[in-house]
Amino acid sequence: MVRKLTLQGLQSCQGTVDLPGSKSIANRALLMAALGDGTTELNHLLRSDDTARMLEALAALGVGIEELSATCVRVRGCGGRWPKQPEQLYLGNAGTAMRPLTAVLAATSTAPVLLTGDARMQERPIGDLVDALREGGATVRYQQQPGYPPLVLEQALRGGEIHVDGSASSQYISALLMALPLLPNDSHLILTGTVVSWPYIELTLAMLRDFGITVEQHGKQGFSIAGRQRYQSPAAYWIEGDASAASYWLGAGVLGGGPLRIEGIGRKSIQGDIAFIDYLQQMGGRITVHDEYVEVNGGQLRGIDADLNAIPDAAMTFATLALFAKGRTAIRNVANWRIKETDRLHAMATELRKAGAQIEEGADYLIIDPPAQIQHAQIKTYDDHRMAMCFSLLGFSAAGVTIEDPDCCAKTYPDYFSELARVT
């Protein structure tokens, strides 16, 4: 039986929350440290399903990983040459492991390797990345459905001029930026289409600099990348709090009145999802941003109409906050919601209607008219961690909410609901 959790009539939200480390930063840092020269100590590491899949893959490739504490590991880099060549790597539903490993192993593996995942991963497209790898000389073979995992990497990537469509996922671009410096040849990466989630590309570029890699950027459509580069260990690397996960606490701090202090993000954050704060302030949230923490003190919400293409993960939280807002909310330019852990546009529309909202679902937008009174709803989570955490905010309504399979949060935030109980 799938576990269910009912939240109802939460009156306040106050105290201090220490965010778990960012999933996006954690899996990039693990891979960069593994590729580097020297040993890197990664601090404030998120322990979740996604990072577990990356750690398992690196161990299978022969990378030495020593666990110093629950949130600190020491990675012995292999200088871009894997000590082991496994025939297969299983990556579950971890997109932040599948996409970069596909590109990096295409650049570095000396023997064929099969990359596969769970049933949902086999529905998540990877064709645009594979097309780019093939243009750069790699041989990649689909085992089942063209354009989707599982896939076999055979002949190695060579480099040169490579085009990648950035309109579906920025992870394809980040994966190539991580792989191309390892090649014997120089490369020129040209982005086509309207690039989504640009802040995640900036995050990758910032981390590459931290690990000693140089990339020359030409506007927002091109990069020159010298080959024969080597990742350098920064000795110690701190993984900042997950700005996407912060969105639930920011929402809870507004709905529950605060004061709620959220540690791990702030003005110094390198994650694009920190922009969620700006939009929440526009909605009426009272938020003060400090260098390394944020404080929330309630607020009265009103609907907004916003292009949230740059922050697609955090944008989901606006969909549930819209039910508490005065007036209509429009969430626009989020077509890539459809290729995440589930089809999030359709899932959000379906579940919001259960709470009484009037919803217009477009190809790349949601328009939400809140109900006069939120109705109790049993929310299907679609094995998607963000669905569970977003809809937890309906616990601040009188009617409340029942969430199916709250344990799906293990993907990025295993302790979320126990933390929510502690501060509400």
For residue 27, say whether it is annotated as part of any ligand binding site. no
Contacts of 384 (CB under 8 A, 6+ apart): 340, 341, 342, 344, 347, 408
Of the candidates 331, 270, 308, 309, the residue with the CA atom closest to the CA atom of residue 24 = 270
Q: Is residue 169 part of an annotated ligand binding site?
A: yes
Q: Does 147 belong to an annotated binding site?
A: no
Q: Is 336 annotated as a binding residue?
A: yes
Catalytic residues: 313
286 is in an annotated binding site: no
Contact yes or no for 210/54 (Cβ under 8 A) = no
Query: Residue 217, annotated ligand binder?
Result: no
28 known member of a binding site: yes
Pair 377, 351: CB distance under 8 Å:
yes
313 annotated as belonging to a binding site for a ligand: yes
Q: Confirm whether residue 14 is marked as ligand binding.
A: no
The strand order across the sheet containing 39-43 reads: 64-69, 72-76, 39-43, 236-238
18 is in an annotated binding site: no
The reply, when asked if residue 392 is annotated as ligand binding, is no
Q: Is 171 annotated as a binding residue?
A: yes
3-state SS of the chain? CCCEEEECCCCCEEEEEECCECHHHHHHHHHHHHHCECEEEEECCCCCHHHHHHHHHHHHCCCEEEEEECCEEEEECCCCCCCCCCCEEECCCCHHHHHHHHHHHHHHCCCCEEEECCCCHHHCCCHHHHHHHHHCCCCEEECCCCCCCCEEECCCCCCEEEEEECCCCHHHHHHHHHHHHHCCCCEEEEEECCCCCHHHHHHHHHHHHHCCCCCEEECCCEEEECCCCCCECCCEEECCECHHHHHHHHHHHHHCEEEEEEECCCCCCCCHHHHHHHHHHHHCEEEEECCCEEEEEEECCECCEEECCCCHHHHHHHHHHHHHCECCEEEECCHHHHHCCCCHHHHHHHHHHHCCCEEEECCCEEEEECCCCCCCEEECCCCCHHHHHHHHHHHHCCCCEEEECHHHHHHCCCCHHHHHHHHC
Is residue 23 part of an annotated ligand binding site?
Answer: yes
Please indicate if the annotation marks 344 as binding a ligand: yes
> Would the annotation count 326 as a binding residue?
no
Return binding residues: 23-24, 28, 95, 124, 169-171, 197, 313, 336, 340, 344, 386, 411
Return binding residues for 3-phosphoshikimate: 23-24, 28, 169-171, 197, 313, 336, 340
